[in-house]
Copies of this chain bind each other. A is one copy, B any other.
Amino acid sequence: MTQMKRIGVFTSGGDAPGMNAAIRAVVRAGIFYNKEIIGIYRGYEGMIEGDFVPMEVRSVSNILQRGGTILKSARSKEFLTAEGRTKAYEQLKKHNIDGLICIGGDGSFTGLHNLYKEHNIPCVCIPGTIDNDIPGTDYTIGYDTATNTAVNAIDKIRDTALSHNRLFFIEVMGRDSGYIAINSGIAGGAVAVIIPEEETSIDELIEKLNATGTQNKTSSLVIVAEGGKSGSAMEIAQRVKEKFSYFDTKVTILGHLQRGGTPTYFDRVLASKMGVAAIEGLDAGQTDVMVGIVHQQVIFNKFEEIMSQPKDIRKDDLRIAKILSI
C-alpha cells in the first residue's frame, strides 16, 4: 500500500446515469481505506479554480439512485492548455491532493493523461459515458440506463405507430458509436438500424421497408444513431418520404432525456465496483490507467494502450438485428 492520503474525485464531460453511484463508491471505499476524499466541482474548470470540498459518508447519502452528478461537470478550454493544467496542478498541491480519480469519457481521460505526463500526479479514470465507446471495458457507466431509456421511449412510440400504420424514424444518442442504436433496435423490434460504423443506402432501406411493412400492413420503426454518415433521422426520413409513400412518416429525436434518469441496477453495480477498484488501484500504485471490467474481472488499462484501440460494434449484433427484422 502506498502513502496516499488525500484523493480528489471529479466528473468530467457529458454526464451519465450512475456517475453519482461511482462518486459514492469512491468516497465510501476511500473512507473504508482511511483516505481523505476531496470532491472537485465542475471537472477541470473547478480544479483550476480550486472549487474543492471534503467528502464524508453523509455527503454521498441517498445519491446512489440519482441521475446526473452531484459534483457537476463542465468542459474547460483552459485545461486544454499546458498553462491551465499547471494552474490545476498548483491547486491540487496547495490542497495536498496526492491522487486523482476522474469519472468521464475519453476526452476527459486525455486531459488527465496530459496532467499526469506533465506533473506526475497519480491518477485513475473510471469510464462514465452513455455511448459505451471506450475500449478496455465491456461496459461504460450509463450505457445500460440510456439504452433502457431509449427502449422505453421506443415502446411508447410503437403504441402510437401501431394505432395509425406509421413509419417512425427515431434518433438515439451515440455520436461515433452504434451501441445504443443497435441494441435498442433489437430490443425495440426495429425494421432497420442505421449506425455510424456502417453506411446505409436509402434504396436498401426502402427495399427493406417494402419487404416488411407493406406486406404485413403494419407499422415500422427505424432507429438512427445521431451523427452518422448516412445523415440525421430528419434527413433520412426526408429522403425516404420522397420515394416511399405507403406510410405516414414521422421523426422523433430522443435527445438529452437519454442522459438522465435513475440508473439501472446494472449501472449502479458497475459504478460501485469501478469506484472501489479505482481507490484500491490508486492505493496499490496504479497510475495513468483506466479501470475496466472485462468478463466480470477488474482490469487496469494503460491509458495509451486503450486510446489507440478502436471499439467496434460487434458484427454479429447487426446480423441478429437483420434476421429478426423479417
Contacts and interface: CB of A to CB of B under 8 A. Distances in A.
Task: Point out which of A28, A160, A183, A252 has the most chain B C-beta atoms below 10 A from its C-beta.
Answer: A160
A257 interface: yes
Nearest to A42: B165
Contact of A159 (B17, B153, B264): B17
Interface stretch (A80-88, A111-119, A193-201, A268-276): A268-276
Interface in A136-180: 138, 144, 147-153, 155-165, 168
A144 B266 contact: yes
Interface in A65-119: 65-69, 72-74
Interface residues of A, number: 83
A168 B260 CA distance: 13
A62 B162 contact: yes
B323 A187 contact: no
B265 A148 contact: yes
Contacts of A159: 15, 17, 66-68, 259-261
25 contacts: A15-B159, A21-B187, A25-B324, A28-B323, A28-B324, A29-B324, A32-B323, A61-B218, A67-B160, A72-B162, A74-B164, A138-B296, A147-B266, A148-B264, A148-B265, A149-B156, A157-B259, A159-B261, A160-B259, A168-B256, A187-B269, A250-B255, A253-B253, A264-B264, A295-B295
A272 B190 CA distance: 13
A284 interface: no
B265 A189 contact: no
Contacts of A165: 72, 74
Nearest to A319: B276
A162 B68 contact: yes
Nearest to A272: B186
A320 interface: yes
A262 interface: yes
A261 B25 contact: no
A326 interface: yes
Contacts of A2: none
Contacts of A73: 163-164
